[in-house]
Amino acid sequence: MTTVNAAVAQVRPTAHDIDPINVNRWSPRSFLNKEVPEEVLLSVLEAARFAPSAFNFQPWRFIVARTQEERAKFLPFLIDFNRAWCENVPVLILIVSQSSSDNGPFPSHAFDAGAAWGALAHEAVRKGLVTHAMTGFDFDKAREALNVPEEYAIQALVALGYQGEKEALPEAMAEREGPSPRRPLEQSVFKGVFGQPIK
């Protein structure tokens, strides 16, 4: 049975009983330059395929870069800060979502793509991988470089691979490398109306 990583638990104590995978998932920037086996990657993407979506529309699409040649198309549209640590990332995944259907605009496309990303992130933890989603890149350049049609909204870029040591990062990044805390539940969950604490 999976348990909460002890170091993570110090930063992210839980107030209620939840699956440890929710606590163990965080967003490192240090990645090993180690290939992710195709079957493992496909399992992670398979989990995303089973995410819920309105009307079963499944608006999400994933553009995956695994080879050096494929990743070379992604790196130029990253901001310098993200490009610096993404050089070692073995898999980059651009998440886009179909923003309209035959019936017109599809209001929940981003919400549904987020559900798919969550499933992907949790399955990655189960497979011993880490993920880091980011929006620090030029969306227009990404669209052009990867031939993303206009009817698809760009949502986020995800780095996926095996976690490296924080000492491998530049000093300023290494100081920030660690799981982030979460605010108390009562600050996010309201009873009946906005702002009314749940308890």
Contact 109, 59 (CB under 8 A): yes
**pLDDT tens digit sequence for 7-32:** 888 889 899 999 999 999 999 999 99
Question: Is residue 149 a part of any domain in this protein?
Answer: yes
Please count the other Cβ atoms lying within 10 Å of the Cβ belonging to residue 93: 23
**pLDDT tens digit sequence for 102-161:** 889 999 999 999 999 999 999 999 999 999 999 999 999 999 999 999 999 999 999 999
Range of the domain at 64: 34-164
C-alpha dihedral sign at 18, 48, 29, 162? positive
Query: Structure pTM?
Result: 0.94
Residue 108 CA to residue 123 CA, distance in Å, equals: 23
Question: Is residue 13 a part of any domain in this protein?
Answer: no
Q: Give the SS3 label for residue 175.
A: helix
Residue 137 CA to residue 79 CA, distance in Å, equals: 5
Domain count for the chain? 1
Task: Report residue 5's pLDDT band, with 50, 70 and 90 as the boundaries.
Answer: confident
Assign residue 100 the CATH number of its domain: 3.40.109.10
Picking from 84-98, 151-165, 169-183, which range would have the lowest pLDDT averaged per residue?
A: 169-183
